[in-house]
Amino acid sequence: MIRRVLFACAFCLSAASLASACGSDDGKKTSPDRLPPGGDGGQGIAGETNVGNAPSGGSGGSGGSAGSGAELGGAGGDAAEPGGAGGVPPTGSAGEPPVGGVGGVGGEGNEGGAGGSGGEAPTGNVLYATFGTKLVWLEPDTGKLHEVGDMRSAAGDVTYSEVLLAYGNVPGEARIITPRYDSTANRPPPELGKLDLCTGVVSELTPLTRVPTAPTAIEGLARHPNGTWYIATGTYPAGVMQNISDKLGTLNAATSVVTDLAGMVDTLQNDIDAMTFVGTTMYAMDVSTGTSQIELVTANLTTGAVTSLATEASASAAATPLRLAYDGTRSKAYSWRQSDRNLLELSLVNGAVTPIAETHGINVYPGESVQGFTSAPVCP
């Protein structure tokens, strides 16, 4: 949950030492939507950047560190099974079943980064994601991962993790909020800025404000086709660990001012952990790793109230889908899970998932869970 990491710091604290449980005032949130390293349960928080240094283990391994634009080996071998969750039909029918994906680049790349030039860009959008301080993009059809590099300041002296990403229809750029959570008094408030998807450079960070109190938890950000930004936020007293975003609102991207809508979020945990637009309809997801479930909803953009579409259970906390992004060039929604580090196609009809492929090996980004996740054209 630490947002900034100074390169010059000389000591490390393990991410496990930062793990903690989160509960809501209404008792619904039994754990955050992040998972402990390598586990499939419990209430620890994973995907955290170590205090005062880069993430433990880096992106290297037995395959060596991956350079800018590198491709990281995933699990080779079998292709994903055809068929599955189905698309996102505007009429509410089951839609066309997805075509099974192809396993990622195999071999010993499973144990570390493999240098490379990246090859040809895929057709249509790609999925930008973050693991610790690393920005990557994923090929939606195969799950193949390409590393951009650290999310960092222009001077290179600060890196960023615990981020929220959303594409804003500007080629090569995404909106970034960091940190997603401001749960302790010694952390800075969440800030809105811009992320260069080609280089990982973060710029124009400005603290988010709201009347009467600034948000301290921000888990959803999405842009309506008319240009309006929507945001899911929560506010709790300084020092209180409550990672719940129970209010929908609008965001003025020029001033970083949040304006709440009238309604409250009513889901499994009264919480929105991810959201995306399909046309003019907002889809949102509450991720409850404590019960190994997700709840899929649509939102009323006038009142902020939500309508439940489906509740889907997973085999374990680690198998629970964590994020949500919609690719309009493929008419498909995507997610990711930590249990097998698989990119998933997710049905917006019933919440069912179809695994596509492993995105990276177990020793690449060790202990890190996906944070930022958005669909965008590949960097020009």
46-93 tens-digit pLDDT: 333 333 333 333 333 333 333 333 444 443 333 333 333 444 444 333
Q: pLDDT (tens digit, 9 = 90+) per residue, 303-329? A: 999 999 999 999 999 999 999 999 999
How much is the pLDDT for 243?
76
Average pLDDT over residues 181-198: 81
Gap between the Cα atoms of 106 and 113, Å rounded: 12
Q: Using a pLDDT cut of 70, give the percent of the chain over it.
A: 65
Cβ-contact 12, 53 below 8 angstroms: yes
Q: Tokens representing 55?
A: 């993430």
How much is the pLDDT for 212?
83
Q: Higher model confidence: residue 142 or residue 111?
A: 142
Average pLDDT over residues 157-175: 96
Gap between the Cα atoms of 252 and 225, Å rounded: 15
Q: pLDDT (tens digit, 9 = 90+) per residue, 238-283? A: 556 667 898 999 999 999 999 999 888 999 999 999 999 999 999 9
Average pLDDT over residues 38-51: 34
What value does the mean pLDDT of the chain take? 76
Average pLDDT over residues 280-290: 96
Burial class (CB in 10 A: 0-12, 13-18, 19+), 331: middle
What is the extent of the structural domain holding 65? 4-376
How much is the pLDDT for 217?
86
- Does 114 score more than 80 pLDDT? no
Taking CA atoms, 124 is separated from 66, 111, 141, 331, 379, in Å, by 25, 29, 10, 11, 12
- Does 9 score more than 60 pLDDT? no
Q: Using a pLDDT cut of 90, give the percent of the chain over it.
A: 57
- Min mean pLDDT across 187-191, 243-247, 270-274, 291-295 is at 187-191
- Min mean pLDDT across 121-125, 142-146, 204-208, 238-242 is at 238-242
CATH number at residue 341: 2.120.10.30
Q: Higher model confidence: residue 32 or residue 361?
A: 361
Give how many domains the chain has, as a whole number: 1
Confidence grade of residue 211 (pLDDT, cut at 50, 70, 90) = confident
Q: Higher model confidence: residue 91 or residue 371?
A: 371
Gap between the Cα atoms of 160 and 306, Å rounded: 32
All residues at 6 or more sequence positions from 85 whose CB lies less than 8 Å from its CB, including other chains: 97, 98, 345, 346, 347, 350, 352, 353, 354
- Min mean pLDDT across 30-44, 51-65, 186-200 is at 51-65
